[in-house]
Chains A and B, each alone.
Chain A
Amino acid sequence: MPQREGSPWQGMSVVFFRELFDHLTSARMLVLELLVLICGAVVVYIAVEQTRATTAEDAFLFLRLFSPSGQTFSFVLVISLLAPIMAIGLSFDSVNGEYNRRTMSRILSQPIYRDALLLGKFLGGLATLTICLVTLWLLVIGFGLIRLGIPPSAEEIGRLIMFLFITIAYVGVWLALSLLLSVVFRSTATAALVGLGLWLFLSLLWPILAQMIGEAISPSDIRFATLGLPTPDTLAWQEALQRLSPSFLYGEAVRAMLNPDAQSLTTLLAQFQGRIPSPLPLNQSIIQVWPQMVSLVAGMILLYVVGYVVFQRQEVRA
């Protein structure tokens, strides 16, 4: 049997720019961005005012804008909660919407492969979200520059760029998930509800459930409990389970990247060994969160591929 002729990329850039244009001009995108902007502005403002009040020496002053130490609400938390909403809001109707508008069979009867349509849609969504995130990122840095009056150090910039990459990979996971849902469910409302349900489950419910399941699989040892320490086996199980959620992976990766001086296992170890705990250098931080970063990118690709396979096999008629 001869090979499939023609390039699967033909028409991809056309779909990509169409999607990008549609997203950037849509009211939906504007609302989502305003939501993130307002929430982000509040937490960043609080963080800046707090930082201005401290007089202690701090090598990572700029990073405190994104993730103030000892604070529950931070810009990072806002992004980790709201970025999925943006991703879901952007693409919950991207494939099933074409069926519902009855444009799918007309578009697919043009000389392009389905690959081009799906990849163009995915990359268009990812580019939109990247533009939004970079804008927010620059706004926070600009605001910090004005209010704090000191420029970030080279290492801080490096860490902030890594933070941006991790964040893009994180929204990519949610975008791919949302795209998959829009392929699987013919009703846009169902796809949106399932997407939001998964988001609630993974970011709010799963951390609690993972604790309980971990406890059930490997109950804590009374000897550790009396010392007020977590049982290592239980902790390992709980962490492994929690890492199934992209929100947890993102939290871990970002914490390591933006709080290099935070109490991590390595600093605990250093204290035990009698060494003076010192913040990890950037390259060590990258090595530390490499697995998390790879998992996020792999999750994104995996979800996209599942959606791709389902879409290729799908009947065109409604």
Chain B
Amino acid sequence: MSENVIEVEGLTKRYGRATAVDGISFTVGKGEIFGLLGPNGAGKTTTILMMLGLTEVTAGSVRVMGYDPVREPLQVKRRVGYLPDTVGFYDHMTAVDNLRYTAALIGIPSADAGKRVAAALERVGLQDVGLKRVGAFSRGMRQRLGLAEILMKDASIAILDEPTSGLDPHATSELLEMIRSLKRDGVAVLVSSHLLERVQSICDRVALFSSGKIALLGTVPELAREVLGGGYNVEVEAEGEGLAVKFSDIPGVRAVDQSGPNRYRLLSENDVRPQAAAAVVNAGGALRRLSIAEPSLDAIYNAYFQSRGVRNAAA
């Protein structure tokens, strides 16, 4: 058996004449965080629902842990934890009761369920409010309760649909940290989001969706190299003569921008900070600042569609 826990091949979903998902293919490996990114309505949620067997597949195939969600939905759903977009719970019940209900649906024996529910709540930091009604929970707490459900289920794959939408920055970073901790447990995580920048920091690989198709697929630096022509933005603030020329001589540097007096931005294929520092020192200049920024997915996404737009206009 391969190490891929999710294999999607030529997956297509049509509603009448409208095509929501158009022949997409990707794989997710064991213990990998994979991002399905793209604007709202690009087909991310539909893809997720097809992977869970919750909506019918028009064409193509999905394999989750080697099972077909269309014919063996229970096998798939036993192994996959799903956190839907704006997850809901029974407001009149407590957090513990909500999780115990899910545990009973999964078929966890009730002697075991108590311990697993308590452990899961503890891990997401909700142990103190476990006996409070969910109706009083904030959005961030609900999302964490949703994660607790996945933890309790002991799932091998976690599918999170827009887990950070509507959360404040603090709650977002907490949630992202919890998602990272899932990865440390060896859980493969599939995250969908329209907030590209927020999620890119935790994703090993991403697929950028655009109107039902995967436009780009790979790691963020790979995509940056492919689309922007360089993966890294090195910012240098230094005093010295003719530094711009010296920087452009460094192997790997694609372009040098002088953004202000004594400020330079280097677009490069790899991390050229040591070479840039050496260049400044060799030229007898004074190095004031040296920093690196990974290219943002937003920039990649925009650049990709701009270039395509230009190409389409030219054609």
Q: Which chain A residues have a beta carbon within 8 Å of chain B's beta carbons?
A: 1-2, 4-6, 10-11, 14-15, 18, 22, 101-103, 105-113, 315-317
Residues of B within 8 A of A103 (CB): 88-90
| Secondary structure of the B contact surface, majority rule | mixed
Instruction: Evaluate contact between B107 and A2: CB separation under 8 angstroms.
Output: no
Within 8 A of A (CB), among B77-92: 77-78, 80-84, 86-92
Instruction: Evaluate contact between B72 and A5: CB separation under 8 angstroms.
Output: yes
A106 to B49, CA, bound (A): 11
Residues of B within 8 A of A111 (CB): 73-75, 77-78, 105-107
Given contacts A4-B71, A6-B74, A316-B54, contact A101 B90 (CB under 8 A): yes
Q: What are 29 A-B pairs at a CB distance below 8 A?
A: A2-B71, A5-B71, A10-B74, A11-B104, A11-B105, A14-B101, A101-B88, A101-B91, A102-B88, A105-B49, A105-B84, A106-B89, A106-B102, A106-B149, A109-B54, A109-B77, A109-B80, A109-B81, A109-B82, A109-B84, A110-B105, A110-B106, A111-B74, A111-B75, A112-B74, A113-B73, A317-B45, A317-B46, A317-B49
In the A-B complex, the 3 residue pairs with the closest CB atoms: A102-B88, A109-B82, A6-B74
Instruction: Evaluate contact between A102 and B84: CB separation under 8 angstroms.
Output: yes
Residues of A within 8 A of B78 (CB): 111
CB closest residue in chain A, given B68: A2
Residues of B within 8 A of A1 (CB): 71
| Secondary structure of the A contact surface, majority rule | loop
Q: What's the nearest-Cβ distance from chain A to residue B61, in Å? A: 13
Residues of B within 8 A of A315 (CB): 55
CB closest residue in chain B, given A18: B101
Q: Which chain B residues have a beta carbon within 8 Å of chain A's beta carbons?
A: 45-46, 49, 52, 54-55, 71-75, 77-78, 80-84, 86-92, 101-102, 104-107, 146, 149
A1 to B57, CA, bound (A): 15
Instruction: Evaluate contact between A106 and B88: CB separation under 8 angstroms.
Output: yes
A113 to B76, CA, bound (A): 12
A11 to B105, CA, bound (A): 5
Residues of B within 8 A of A5 (CB): 71-72, 74-75
Given contacts A2-B71, A102-B86, A316-B49, contact A107 B91 (CB under 8 A): no
* Other-chain contact of A110, B55, B92, B102, B146 (Cβ < 8 Å): B102
Given contacts A4-B71, A106-B84, A112-B105, 19 further A-B contacts (CB under 8 A): A6-B73, A6-B74, A11-B107, A14-B101, A14-B105, A101-B89, A102-B88, A103-B88, A103-B89, A103-B90, A105-B54, A109-B80, A109-B82, A110-B105, A111-B106, A111-B107, A113-B74, A315-B55, A316-B54
Residues of B within 8 A of A113 (CB): 73-74
Instruction: Evaluate contact between B104 and A14: CB separation under 8 angstroms.
Output: yes
Residues of B within 8 A of A10 (CB): 74, 107
Residues of A within 8 A of B72 (CB): 5-6
Q: What's the nearest-Cβ distance from chain A to residue B223, in Å? A: 29
CB closest residue in chain B, given A108: B54
Given contacts A110-B105, A111-B107, A316-B49, contact A105 B82 (CB under 8 A): yes
A6 to B73, CA, bound (A): 9
Residues of B within 8 A of A108 (CB): 54
Q: What's the nearest-Cβ distance from chain B to residue A181, in Å? A: 21
Residues of A within 8 A of B80 (CB): 109
Q: What's the nearest-Cβ distance from chain B to residue A90, in Å? A: 16
CB closest residue in chain B, given A11: B105
Residues of A within 8 A of B87 (CB): 102, 106
CB closest residue in chain A, given B91: A101
CB closest residue in chain B, given A101: B88
A103 to B105, CA, bound (A): 13
A136 to B71, CA, bound (A): 47
Q: What's the nearest-Cβ distance from chain A to residue B181, in Å? A: 21
A22 to B106, CA, bound (A): 20
Instruction: Evaluate contact between B105 and A107: CB separation under 8 angstroms.
Output: yes
